[in-house]
Amino acid sequence: MTGIAVIGCGRIGRMHAANVARHPRARLVAVYDVVDKLSNSVAEETGARAAASLDDVLGAPDVDALLVASLTETHAELIERGAKAGKAVLCEKPIDLDIKRVNRCAEAIKGLDVPIQIGFNRRFDPGHSAAHAAAAAGEIGDLHQVIITSRDPGMPSRDYIAHAGGLLRDMTIHDFDMARFMLMEEPVEVFAVAQAMIDPELGRELDDVDTAMIVLRTDSGRMCCINNSRASVYGYDQRVELMGTRGMLISGNRRPHELRRFDGDGTAVGLPYLNFFVERYAEAFMNELGAFIDAVEGRSPVAVGFEDGRKALLLAEAAYRSLASGRAVKLSELAGA
């Protein structure tokens, strides 16, 4: 049994705490939030202890690992402090909004022999991971194209957007990781178009975008297109398509159930897709946790490491440079980044 402390008891932290609590190989030892009320509430729900301070958590011998679900700006520090305290860390994405901070964090933990996993949960989605596995096994021959459709079901609040670091660092970051996962080669070039199409005013005020298309290219010529939107009225749209010389794979959307309606207006009418990531990626979050426990227990290497988190952020950086310049940006241009 791996003893885990969840840091950050907001919406995501609460979900992670519940997952840890019911995972057969984990024990939810402690929860912590800077807001006492939140940690107390999650502690009560799960039976874990509400830690009084971060030091309390880091010093606790029954805590083998941290699950970091606090605000983005605390991630890098928590990774550093956790690693130095000898705790394994599963940290929500992104590591930081600033690539320089990420690089300093990489320096700080260099040589520390603890598993650090970044929360790119979608790699653990049963459909997406089966697609990856099939392509990796050569079932579709040589891979040529990847199309990632990733559309959130609705605009987040202005407040959320103001602190999220921009669409490409906040939302597309998952798709950059998915692109790397599926391409099975490093992208060397990024081209992006993006605009505030859904809420132009918000775009002007917060200088953010809500709709994007991004093309990635690897050295061997593999191509990937990411389609993003903040507001898909038909539900959370999460598809991955892999096209190769011997076939195609599509990992499709899921509905709450498989009832279909047929009438004079239409046939085979399914429900809107599962609303958002908590529902759509419920299995993925549990599988992610299982993979982390495997790494903590030394059964397998870390599935999605710190460097994966850094590289996804680098792709976001490149995409932003492409947006600014209107040209494809080579990753090598960010070498100093």
Q: Which of residues 260-319 bind its own copies (CB under 8 A)?
A: 260-273
Shortest Cβ distance from residue 69 to its own copies (Å)?
21
235 binds its own copies, rule: CB under 8 A: yes
Backbone φ and ψ for 144, nearest 5 degrees, come out as -115, -45
Q: Which of residues 55-74 bind its own copies (CB under 8 A)?
A: none
CA 106 – CA 76 distance, rounded (Å): 9
154 binds its own copies, rule: CB under 8 A: no
Q: Which of residues 10-49 bind its own copies (CB under 8 A)?
A: 22
Q: Which of residues 166-195 bind its own copies (CB under 8 A)?
A: 189, 191, 193, 195
Q: Which of residues 198-227 bind its own copies (CB under 8 A)?
A: 198, 211-213, 215, 217, 221-223, 225, 227
Inter-CA distances, 87 with 60, 65, 78, 115, Å: 10, 5, 10, 8
CA 230 – CA 233 distance, rounded (Å): 10
Nearer CB in complex with its own copies: 117/253 = 253
CA quadruple 242, 136, 186, 229: dihedral, nearest 10 = 30
Nearer CB in complex with its own copies: 112/243 = 243
Nearer CB in complex with its own copies: 280/311 = 280
CB 121 within 8 Å of CB 284: yes
Residue 336 is encoded by which pair of tokens?
A: 């100093």
Nearer CB in complex with its own copies: 221/336 = 221
Q: Given the rule CB under 8 A, which of 57-65, 78-86, 163-171, 251-259 is the region that contacts its own copies?
A: 251-259
Residue 324 is encoded by which pair of tokens?
A: 């600014």
Cβ count within 10 A of residue 204: 10
Q: Which of residues 81-110 bind its own copies (CB under 8 A)?
A: none
Among 64, 125, 175, 208, binds its own copies (CB under 8 A): 125
Give residue for tokens 């700080």.
108
